[in-house]
Amino acid sequence: MPKAQQTTDHQTIRDWIATRKGRPSTVAGDGKSGILRVDFREKDEDLTEVDWDDFFRIFEESHLAFLYQEQTASGERSRFNKFIERG
């Protein structure tokens, strides 16, 4: 089973999201201090797209790390990701 990896590197996070055609987002209604999410679908009404500067500002202010997986167990490109507190 593929292992999840953890990073705080902005370029790694940005590349991973872009490769999967995701968009940096927050939970709708939370504005610029919201809960971070990655939106992979058609525009999700529950999410608000934010620019990369705001995304990484929230990421750093919240002391988060990005947990992600490159491939699924079957070898396909994975979209598994989660924002967690830095250890």
Give pLDDT, residue 46. Answer: 85
**Which residues pair with residue 82 across a beta bridge?**
67
Residue 82 has pLDDT above 60, yes or no: yes
Give pLDDT, residue 54. Answer: 94
What is the DSSP code string of 29-50? T-GGG--EEEE-SSPPTTEEE-
Q: Where are the domains positioned within the chain?
A: 5-85
What's the average model confidence in pLDDT over 5-33? 89
If you ran DSSP here, which 8-state letter would residue 14 be given?
A: H
Express each pLDDT in 36-73 by its tens digit: 999 997 877 888 899 999 999 999 999 999 999 999 99
